[in-house]
A and B are shown apart, each in its own frame.
Chain A
Amino acid sequence: MVFFGLGGLLQFSVLLINAIAILSEDRFLARIGWTSSADPGFGGQRDDGIKARLVNLVSSVRTLMRIPLMFINTAMIIYLLIFG
C-alpha cells in the first residue's frame, strides 16, 4: 500500500499549485481562450459558469501565489535534498 500522509498531501497541493502557476498567459491560456475577460463594472452581470470560475481561479492563483511559491519551492527543495 502506498503511504499517503499529510506530507504527501502537502506535496500534492504544492505541485498542483505549481502546475497552475506555470501556465503561460499568452502562449497557452490565450490560445485556448482561458483568459479572463474584462471585469464587470458596477452592476454588471457576473458570468457564473463553471468555466468562468475556473478561469478566475487560475488567474487568481497565478497572480497571488507567484512570489510565495518561490519560497515554498526553495524550502521544499532544500528539505528534500537533506532528508529526502
Chain B
Amino acid sequence: MYQNPPPAHSPPLHHPVPQHVSTVPQLRSPPPPQPPSQPQSGYGYGQQHAMPAQQGAYGGNIPPAFGGFINDPTAQLGFQMGKSAMNAGQEYVEQNFGRFISVSALKHYFNVSNTYVANKLWIVLFPWRHRPWSRQQRMANNPSDVFYLPPREDINSPDMYIPMMALVTYILLSTLLAGLRGAFKPELLGYTTTQAISVMLLEILIIKLGTFLLNISSSSQLLDLVAYSGYKFVGVIVSLLLTSLFSQLNFGGAWISWVVFVYCFNANAFFLLRSLRYVLLPESNPQGVGGGAAGYTSSRSQKSARTQFLFVYSYVIQLGFMLWLSKV
C-alpha cells in the first residue's frame, strides 16, 4: 500500500489540467473544429501533439466557399464587434435621451393603426358629432395602477404620429406653395421648421404657465400636451390646401379662404376644448364629508377659472397661432 505514494506521481497527473485550460482560446474556432479522424485526445501530453495537426487540418476542413463565410472567425469577430457596437450605441442613445424623455413613454404614442389614424383625422376635422370624449383606462394587476390605453385601442387617446406627420407635411406644403408662387428659397424650409417648432414650444409654455397658475395637478404628462398642440397643423394644412386650390380654380374669392379657415379653426378649437377637458378639468373627487360649503365654493370658483382658461386657450390662443401659421 505504501509502495506507490501519491505525492511522487501527482505532479505529472495534475500538471496537464492547467495546460488544457491555456489551450482553450486556441480551440475557440468554428463549430466543427476537430476532424472526426482525430479522437478527443483527452488530457495529458497528447494534447500538445495534437495541436499542430489540428490547426493544419483546420485550414483544409472549412471550405472557403460562400456558405462557409459565416463560420469564418474573422466574420464572426466582425459580427460580434458590430453587435457590441450597436448595443453600445443603443445604450448611449437610451442614456442620453432617456434623461429627458423616456423612450418607452414615447413608444406608447406611436402605437397607432390605420383605422385609428383615419378616424382621428376625421374627428379633428369634423368633431361635432363625436360622442364619448373620455379616454379609456385599464387597470393593471393592482387596482391602484391605472394606465391609459394606447391609441391603437382607444380613439380618444392622443398620439404623436399625426402631429409629427402633420408638422412635416406643413413644412413641405408651405414651401411648396411658396415655390408655386415663385418665391422659393432653400432657407424657407429652415424658417418654416423653426417657426412651427417655436409655435409649439410657445403653446406648451402657455399651457404650462396656465396649469401652474390655476394649480391644476393632473396626472397627464407633458407629452400629451405636445401631442395636442400638434393637431392644429392638420387644420392648417387643410385650409392651406383648399385655399390654394380655390385660388387656382378662380372659384370664389378672398372670402372662401376665410370660410375654410374659420371652419378649420372652429373644428380644431372644439376638438381641443373637448380633448383637453380631462387635462385641465380633472375630476376632483371630494376630499371628505367634512369639506363643507367653503370648499364647495372655492372649488366652484376654481372650476370656473379653469373653464375660462380652457376656453381662452382653445379658442383665442389657437386662433392666433393658426392665423400665424396659415399666413405663408
A5 touches B212 (CB 8 A): no
CA distance A53 to B302 in the complex (A): 13
Given contacts A50-B214, A53-B212, contact A5 B327 (CB under 8 A): no
- Other CB < 8 Å A-B pairs besides A3-B191, A5-B198, A50-B305, 8 of them? A3-B195, A5-B195, A6-B197, A13-B205, A48-B215, A50-B214, A53-B213, A57-B212
Contacts of B327 in A (CB 8 A): 1
Q: Mark B194-215, 1 if CB is under 8 A from A, else 0.
A: 1101100110010000001111
Q: Measuring CB to CB, which residues of chain B are less than 8 angstroms from any residue of chain A?
A: 191, 194-195, 197-198, 201-202, 205, 212-215, 302, 305, 327
The distance from the CB of A13 to the nearest CB of chain B, in whole angstroms, is 8
Q: List 27 A-B contacts (CB under 8 A).
A: A1-B327, A3-B191, A3-B195, A4-B195, A4-B198, A5-B191, A5-B194, A5-B195, A5-B198, A6-B194, A6-B197, A6-B198, A6-B201, A7-B194, A8-B198, A9-B198, A9-B201, A9-B202, A13-B205, A48-B302, A50-B214, A50-B305, A53-B213, A53-B215, A54-B213, A57-B212, A57-B213
Of A6, A7, A50, which one neighbours B213 at CB under 8 angstroms? A50
Give residues of chain A (1-30) contacting chain B, Cβ–Cβ below 8 Å: 1, 3-9, 13
List the 3 closest pairs (A to B, CB-CB), nearest first: A5-B194, A9-B198, A48-B215
Q: Is the interface of A mostly helix, strand, loop or mixed?
A: helix
Give residues of chain A (33-48) contacting chain B, Cβ–Cβ below 8 Å: 48
Contacts of B194 in A (CB 8 A): 5-7
Contacts of B205 in A (CB 8 A): 13
Interface centre among B195, B201, B214, B302 (most CB of A within 10 A): B195
Q: Measuring CB to CB, which residues of chain A are less than 8 angstroms from any residue of chain B?
A: 1, 3-9, 13, 48, 50, 53-54, 57
Contacts of A54 in B (CB 8 A): 213
Contacts of B212 in A (CB 8 A): 53, 57
Contacts of B198 in A (CB 8 A): 4-6, 8-9
Closest to A10 in B: B198
The distance from the CB of A45 to the nearest CB of chain B, in whole angstroms, is 11
The distance from the CB of A6 to the nearest CB of chain B, in whole angstroms, is 5
CA distance A57 to B201 in the complex (A): 20
CA distance A57 to B208 in the complex (A): 13
Closest to A51 in B: B213
The distance from the CB of A53 to the nearest CB of chain B, in whole angstroms, is 5
Closest to B298 in A: A48
Contacts of B214 in A (CB 8 A): 50
Contacts of A48 in B (CB 8 A): 215, 302
Contacts of A5 in B (CB 8 A): 191, 194-195, 198
CA distance A1 to B202 in the complex (A): 18
Closest to A16 in B: B205
Closest to B190 in A: A5
Closest to B201 in A: A9
CA distance A19 to B201 in the complex (A): 20
CA distance A7 to B130 in the complex (A): 40
Closest to B215 in A: A48
Contacts of A50 in B (CB 8 A): 213-214, 305
Closest to A54 in B: B213
CA distance A58 to B146 in the complex (A): 36
Closest to A52 in B: B215
Contacts of B195 in A (CB 8 A): 3-5
Closest to B196 in A: A5
Contacts of A6 in B (CB 8 A): 194, 197-198, 201
The distance from the CB of B284 to the nearest CB of chain A, in whole angstroms, is 12
CA distance A5 to B171 in the complex (A): 14
Contacts of A13 in B (CB 8 A): 205
Closest to A1 in B: B327
Closest to B210 in A: A50
